[in-house]
Structures are given as C-alpha cells and as structure tokens.
Structure 1
C-alpha cells in the first residue's frame, strides 16, 4: 500500500527534524519558496494530485499569496485537510474551502500566553502613556512632557472575544486588580467565565475603561469598531488590540485619538501591515509594537508542533485536533 502524500508550504524554523521524520510514513512534498504563479501551475499540472493534507506555514502567504477562491479552486481533489500555522486565518477563504469539503485547523492555545503577555504590556504602556517618556529619555530629555498615567486597579477591562487569548488576558489583568467584563458570540460556562461579567456588545462599549480586542477577523468582524462604536464608549477610553488591525477602522481610530475620545492606544496589529497609519506614528499617545505577539522561541516552536500534530492526526485518524469554529456543523465527518 502506497504512503499518503503531504505538502509543506513555506518554511519551518524549529521543527525541520520532526517534519523529516514524517518521511517514514508519508511522501513529503515541499513548496518552501516560490511565487503564486508557480504554485498555481504546480496544482494545475498535477504535481500535488496525491496530497491529502498540507501544512501552511505562517510565512506561506509571501510565497503563494492568500488562499482565496482562485487558489482554492485549483487545489487537488485528493486534498482533505489544510493545517494552518497561526491563530488568525483571515488569509484563507473559509467559505471557498468549506464548499470544496476542505477541513481547516489553526493554532489556538499555543499562542494564548505570549499574545496575552504582549496585551498586558500594551495595556500598561497605554495607561501610563509610556511612549512619551520612552522617546524623551532616548532623546536625552529625561521625562520630557510625560503626563500622569493611570493605574489598572479598579478599572473595567472589557474583553471583546473571550476565547483562549481573551481569558489569558483576563487572568493576568485580575492580578492588577482590574474588573473583567466581556462580550462573546455566546456566554461562557461558569467554569470559564469565573468572575467576569457578561455584557451585550453595546454595554461593553459603554462600560469599559479599557477595551481589549481579542476576536478573529472575518467578514462580520471587519471594522466592528468604527466611528459609531467609538461614540458609544466612555470619554478617555483606552484601546488595546493584539488580534487583527482591520477589526477597527484605523481612520476612525486616529480621529478618536486626536479628539481625545480615546485617551491612548496599545497596538500590536495594524489595518494594512506593514504600513502603519501616519496618525498613529505621530501620536505620542499611541504605544505601538510591530506585530510581535507570538514572537518568542517557545511559542513559535509550539505553534509549529501543533500544526504537525494536526496534520498527523488528520492523515492517520481523519480528525483535526484544533479545527476552526466556523466549520463546525458545516462539513460531514468529525466537525
């Protein structure tokens, strides 16, 4: 009986040894470097016609471009599973994959702690407006025009999207004495909710002193925070975003920052990365870092291992370990 074939798209940094070990039971195919045109041509020419599962690295978009409808349409009929490295998967057309019967996994859990750590770092930096003293001391001006900051203790932290990362942020924020409120598609069970208060979307906007965005980007959540939502928030609200930049209308965010509706922001993500809005670059009240939420050795390795585990489970058992939630109930089999 011939071995099943699997495909690696993009590079590996920490798990090349584990990938090569798969060669004992799978036919290993690779597209580590190349262009979208080359990949599309490979698909059309039948190079991957025996592939049942693929590993899509977190750098693969630079090689193939997004997994949009055009690309998905030429993927081999043999393919059943797309194992994606990343908690976010907005560069995959989920609807197109679902129509083709392709099951997708991502890497939740593995990213939770590192992303939450950066979230708290940004939260504290925004509350203290830390960008001002950081740039002042580098310029030899000691504190410069550093204003008084704010303590997190007693503040309401509103979490929009209480998944694994949101709960990890809540856990850390409790240590600083913050009160936790959240809004989700559905209320959490008591074991996960703990002491957090479940609010409607509008209630969360109105009651949060700090609003943390921790939800996936999709057609429904794009620009979920825009001018009308800023208008419903407290004057002087602090915004933290470690999820995806396009969850907010960046033009509206800059306007709210400039007129004082938003007192400060802590951002790891931006709407048109790597481009950053000029208004955020110029604002002393924007505490920003360049999408480094999962940029640690431990987390990067754990993410790569989880993708390999998803791929192995899918090929050997027909079950993805961490399937994306949008596909549950839409495909036959184990979803």
Structure 2
C-alpha cells in the first residue's frame, strides 16, 4: 500500500517508520497538499494529511480521478476536509481522535504559567545579566476562576490539571462531561463564563458554529486584564478583534498555539525571510502576547500514538473495515 505523506517533517518520517506496518510503503512529501501540488499524489493508494493540507471539493475530485479513495488524517481536527464532498465522492476519511489529551493540556498550562510569571522575559534578562524583578510581577493561580470552553478529552485533561492549583472552574460545552462535573467544575452559559473567568482556555473543534466564537462582543464581556489561551484552532478567535482589545488594554494576556492564518507560517523555518503576514506581525509587537507554533501535540507519547493510529486506520481502510470510531467518512456501501 503506497501512502503519500504530505506536509512531512523529519519527525513524521521517524515515528511513522517506527510503526510495525510492513504492508505500508510510506512516501514522504514535504510540501502541503493543495490543488497545485496534486500531481505529487500520482501513483499513491492513499493520502496521509495534516492540519494545513487542503482537502476541498476540487482536490478530492482530482484525487478520485487518480484512484485514491482514502484520506488518513494524522491529527484530531478535520476542518480542512470537505467531509460532505468526501461522502458524496465515495471516500473514506480517518483521523486520530484521541492521541494524548495530556500533551495539549500540559502545553496550555505552560502558556498560562509562562505568561503569568513572565518566564520568557526573565529567561532573556538573566542571559543578559539583568537580575531586576521590575515588570515581572505575576499573580497566584490559586483561587482564580478559570473558564474552559469545550470539555472533551483535552478540555477534561486541562480541568484535571487546573483543579490541582486550587482554581474555581467554569465550563461550557453543549455536551457536559460527567467526569468534569465530578471534579467540582460548574457548567454555565458561555456569556456567563466569559464575564466571570480570570483565565479563559479554548478546547473546541473548529466548526461553522465555533468559528470566531471569540469575537468583539465576547471580548467586550470579559474582565479587564483577562488571560485568553487558544490551543485548539486559530479561527475560533477573531484575530482583528483581539488586536483591538490588546491595543485598548482590555486583554491582559494572550497565549496562542494556533493562529487564524497559520497555513503559510507554522511548521516552517522562515527565520531568513521577511514574514508578509501583517496581522501576525502586529500580534508579535505586544509584550503580553506569547505565540508558539502549533506544538501543543508535540510530545513523544503523542507522536507515537498518532503514528500507530494512522497506520491502523490505513490498514483497516485497505481491508474495507470502517468500524473504528476514528473513521469520519465511510463509503456509502459500508
């Protein structure tokens, strides 16, 4: 089974090749999958895609003409796939729904703690021999109200960690999680959450309903000095609105592991280039903004699980077995 792995990085090659799957012939393709790069998929039996690969109607139609009928996503999110078109065209589409929720949850806490205690600034000061504490004042997490929007596996893992700090936890999710309730968290309407929380962390999938969930109106409802963290999908936050609230001082801290227009930036080394994204560059000018390059998932444990599940999904699709919950789209006959 020849599998074209798009957006392939050295770590993808390492972990996929470590999987015991002799029936899979991995072909690693560094470029992102798009309408322009489709010819690189010629001769493949399946495609393995990542978060910024484009799988719209046009791309899927061309893949079908090549005889490629399975898309294996090596990620949990699938907002980059036109699932309705995939269903109509007869594709099967799989993903990795639960690789390591603790990986993203722990990165969420890393952003919170770094922003709060200004560890990134302290690190640079010490390297320059500056041991002054001026400007490094933080606050105790203990006793603060933390709002978790989305309490699936990652949101629940974040609640478990946050509860250890002695925080009051408010949650919002259309499907409340009994495990989260047992931790003492309280489910409230989203408007109540954003108006009461000192720290707000997003853990939702990107859907038409959640796109720009954090917009100007919701930002205006937040407490002055609020900390906003996003480790889910960039487009859940209206970036232009966030910039305005950073400018007027309403947002006290912003931590992002994802960015609305990250497709041309993240996962690439652009250190010798002039970044053309003016919105991203504007974000970088604020001293209370911390951005990481979509690395929340990036732990050895998570990568091992992602590689194994991706291989399992590919082999299952080859055998016509679509019973696993990791299959998003299955052929109509299955």
TM-superposed deviation, 1:92: 1.7
Are positions 1:230 and 2:219 aligned together?
yes
Structure 2 distance, partners of 1:312, 1:174, is 40
Are positions 1:40 and 2:38 aligned together?
yes
Structure 2 distance, partners of 1:38, 1:282, is 34
SS in 1 for 2:201: strand
**Gap change, CA 1:126 and 1:72, over 3 Å in 2:** same
Contact 2:159-2:180 at 8 Å conserved across structures: no
TM-superposed deviation, 1:305: 0.9
TM-superposed deviation, 1:41: 4.3
Contact 2:201-2:228 at 8 Å conserved across structures: yes
Match of 1:320 in 2: 324
**Gap change, CA 1:97 and 1:143, over 3 Å in 2:** farther
TM-superposed deviation, 1:176: 0.9
**Gap change, CA 1:313 and 1:254, over 3 Å in 2:** same
Are positions 1:135 and 2:138 aligned together?
no
SS in 2 for 1:290: coil
Structure 2, gaps ≥5 residues long: 266-276
Match of 1:166 in 2: 155
TM-superposed deviation, 1:36: 4.8
Are positions 1:193 and 2:181 aligned together?
yes
Contact 1:239-1:262 at 8 Å conserved across structures: yes
Match of 1:115 in 2: 104
Count of residues paired in the alignment: 311
SS in 1 for 2:64: coil
SS in 2 for 1:158: strand
- 1:44-59 to 2 correspondences below 5 Å: 47=43, 51=45, 54-58=46-50
Contact 2:156-2:179 at 8 Å conserved across structures: no
TM-score for the superposition, normalised by structure 1: 0.81
Contact 1:55-1:311 at 8 Å conserved across structures: no
TM-superposed deviation, 1:211: 0.4
TM-superposed deviation, 1:129: 3.6
Match of 1:71 in 2: 59
**Gap change, CA 1:305 and 1:280, over 3 Å in 2:** same
Are positions 1:13 and 2:14 aligned together?
yes
Structure 1, gaps ≥5 residues long: none
TM-superposed deviation, 1:289: 2.1
Match of 1:295 in 2: 298
**Gap change, CA 1:332 and 1:178, over 3 Å in 2:** farther
TM-score for the superposition, normalised by structure 2: 0.81
CA RMSD of aligned residues (A): 2.9
Question: For each residue in 1:150-184, what CA deviation from the matched residue of structure 2 results, as whole angstroms up to 9, or x when unmatched?
Answer: 11111111111111111111111111111222111
Structure 2 distance, partners of 1:248, 1:137, is 34
TM-superposed deviation, 1:19: 6.4
Question: For each residue in 1:78-123, what CA deviation from the matched residue of structure 2 results, as whole angstroms up to 9, or x when unmatched?
Answer: 6554220012222222232233243422223213111111100111
Structure 2 distance, partners of 1:331, 1:265, is 42
Structure 1 distance, partners of 2:30, 2:82, is 22
**Gap change, CA 1:37 and 1:197, over 3 Å in 2:** closer
